[in-house]
Structure 1
Amino acid sequence: MGGESPEKNRAVRPRTRLREKQAAWQGLVGLVLVAWALGLAAGAAEPPRRYTGPWNLEKLKQVPPATFGVTRGLVQEVYYQGEPLRGKPTRVFAYLSRPEKSSGHVPGMVLVHGGGGTAFAEWATLWAQRGYAAIAMDLAGCGPDRKRLPDGGPGQDEHSKFREFSEAETDQMWTYHAVAAVIRGHSLLAAQPGVDPQRTGITGISWGGYLTCIVAGLDDRLKVAVPVYGCGFLHENSAWLPQFARMSPAQRQRWVRLFDPSQYLPGVRIPILFINGTN
Structure 2
Amino acid sequence: MRIILIFLFSILFVSGQIAADSALTLSQLWDIPLDQVEYKIARSYQKGTIKVEEVYYQSRSFKGKPVRIFGYFCYPAKAKGKLPTILISHGGGGLAELGNTINWAKYGYAVLSIDLPGHGEKRARSRSTGPDMDVSVLLRTKPDPTYNYLIHSVAAVRNGITFLTQRDMVDTDRIGMVGLSWGGVNAILTNGQDKRLKTAVNVFGAGYIPEGCTWQERFNIMSADELGAWNQYIDPKNFLKTQ
TM-score of the pair, normalised by structure 2: 0.81
Mean Cα deviation higher: 70-79 or 257-266: 70-79
Q: Could you tell me how far 1:62 is from its partner in structure 2?
A: 2.1
Q: Which residue of 1 aligns with 2:80?
A: 103
Q: Could you tell me how far 1:261 is from its partner in structure 2?
A: 0.9
- Structure 2 gaps, min length 5: 1-25
Is 1:116 matched up with 2:116?
Answer: no
Aligned counterpart for 1:76 among listed residues 53, 59, 65: 53
Question: 1:234/1:62 Cα in 2 relative to 1: closer, same or farther (>3 Å)?
Answer: same
Structure with the largest fraction of helix: 1
Between the two structures, name the one with larger relative contact order (CA 8 Å, sep ≥ 6).
2
Aligned counterpart for 1:54 among listed residues 29, 39, 42: 29
Q: Which residue of 2 aligns with 1:67?
A: 40
CA contact (8 A) 2:57 2:68 kept: yes
Matched position secondary structure for 1:116: coil
| Aligned residue pair count | 211
Q: Could you tell me how far 1:123 is from its partner in structure 2?
A: 2.3
Q: Could you tell me how far 1:223 is from its partner in structure 2?
A: 1.1
- Structure 1 gaps, min length 5: 1-50, 269-279
Identity %: 33
Matched position secondary structure for 1:98: strand
Question: 1:163/1:222 Cα in 2 relative to 1: closer, same or farther (>3 Å)?
Answer: closer
TM-score of the pair, normalised by structure 1: 0.71
* Paired residues for 1:1-279 under 5 Å: 52=27, 54-57=29-32, 59=33, 61-72=34-45, 73=47, 74-141=51-118, 146-147=124-125, 152-167=129-144, 170-268=145-243
Q: Could you tell me how far 1:124 is from its partner in structure 2?
A: 1.7
For 2:75 and 2:36, the matched residues in 1 are separated by 18
1:136-166 Cα offsets, whole Å, 9 max, x none, are 1111425xx94366x8111111111123513
1:80-118 Cα offsets, whole Å, 9 max, x none, are 112111111111111111123222111111100000001
Structure with the largest fraction of strand: 2
What is the CA RMSD across the aligned residues, in angstroms? 1.8
